[in-house]
Structure 1
Amino acid sequence: MSIEGLGRKFQEARKARNLSLEEAARLTRIRQSRLAEIEADDFSNFPSLAYAKGFLQIYGKFLEVDVSPYLDAFETSGHLTVDGYSYLQDAPAPKAPRGHRSPRRTENTRPSLVPFLIGIAILVAGFWFLRFISKLNQIAPHPTEAAASPTPSATVATIVAPRALPVESSARVAASVPPVKTTPTIAVPAATPVPTAIAVETPLLPAPRAVEPEVRRAEPVRPEEVAAAQADNEASDAEGPNRIDIKPLKKTYMQVTIDDDPTKPAFERWVSPSDGTVEFRGHRFSVRVLDREAVQIRKNGKIVSNGDTDLRITAQ
């Protein structure tokens, strides 16, 4: 049976539904050019009549046109190709194994920065370690220098510290020392400091250290000593024309000499406010203290600030 007139039926049915060729192609998912060829009864561009038969059935079912009487005309062709339909053809084999290998080879040949960074880190660590060893050698004494230098352990520095002897009781002092009436001055009995040598081992150093300055150790003032001194001063009130009272305001070291006799100081020790006021009688006095503000000195009941002809105050 001839298929002439089938395309006109399709065209009339499409126009009856008010559909354009483009809309029919979108709804049937058939190319617009193929639908135009079917409506023109031109099947020469189809790769196979089997495709044309399938498109006729789809288009006829969509437009409700009976195409079964025309299908016998498409049974004569058994040739089937897929030319012109790229979506039905097999994907071509990848061509670029060689083309892709060349960039990979170039990437592999590129030098890596990891070994370079590791080498820099090793160099920095080695430099720091050598610097640390050199500083350690500078600080630590060398054995040759220690052997060549004299052993400083044998050097002994003597630190002389005044140490007061215990004061004997007033009865013993009165028995051992006869009273002297010709001398108008009265000295408070004070213990004569006896220097004692204290051997101190100096630490091991490359060079011997200099002798440290003299250090004096404070000795506490006993109440009986203060009482004995005050008793002696009261007993000799009539013999001295001047009287000085020294009141400690804070702890300091004090030396008192009466009648300009520095070889026999009447009083020499550390004093503090807890010791109370110490009195002396005589013609002339010399007072030496470490801190002038640490004591308050009165002469015959009046406060003396800078001294006078009978009282000399020296602050070290």
Structure 2
Amino acid sequence: MSIEGLGRKFQEARKARNLSLEEAARLTRIRQSRLAEIEADDFSNFPSLAYAKGFLQIYGKFLDVDVSPYLDAFETSGNITVDGYSYLQDAPAPKAPRTQVTRRSENARPSLVPFLLGLAILVAGFWFLRFISNLQRITPRPAEATATATAGPTAPVARIVAPRAEPVESPAPSAPVAAATTTTPPPVMATPTIPVATPVPTAIAVATPVIPVARAVEPEVRRAEPVRPEELAAAQAENTAAESNAPNRVDIKPLKKTYMRVTIDDDPTKPAFERWVSPSDGTVEFRGHRFSVTVLDRDAVQIRKNGKIVSNSDTDLRITAQ
């Protein structure tokens, strides 16, 4: 059976119920364009006949129109032509697979490696310049090294004077001998002798300084004398007096958190220390003659005077626990 006229039946049934195409699409949850194509018998935009059969059943059930004869035409006909339209029952050609391109995620956060590398180069350059400066300051200069090498005493050297040439007087030349008569040949003059200077070596004596030689000093030997008891007692008394006059050193080590106030030399108006302390603060050191320590808990602190644990009967240190 041909499916021609099915769209007209759907349109008449919809109008009989006074429904617009938009209202029918909202009630059937089918797009309005699809309902318009079904009423116009246009199935060219459906991907396959399975979709068209499904929409026909839903729309026919909604409008009470029997569509089963028309569904048989979908199954027995390979191509359905209505008003010049041809419907392909074959499934659409598969689309070419798309190659998934994996994009490399770029880190938007800038890297700190260049910054750290530059900082390390700056620190290394500063350290190298400082090392060179210290090396130049410690190493002596060449001029100073030469002056230091030549500043030591040197042995005196006798100065040698070269011999000097002195002229020697020679006898006067002999007088010419004249002829006795006029008939003799002209007189011949004698050649004068040229004096030759003979070098006379001379020496100049230079006084050599006398270097004093240190004489060996023999160590002085003294005999030990016994210490008398009165001298020992006087020395002990002096040491005791010096220790009593010297200021005491008090070390207070917190063992647990507590409040502490320390007054030195009986001056309560100006406490040397007043606050909460804990073991992380470390040992607190004070110096003076007399101390007054006030704590909330006596067992919360450890007090030493001159390196020794303080007893409760100490006259220079008064401990009060509140």
TM-score normalised according to structure 2 size: 0.32
- Provide the TM-score with structure 1 as the length reference: 0.32
Higher relative contact order (CA 8 A, sep 6+): 1
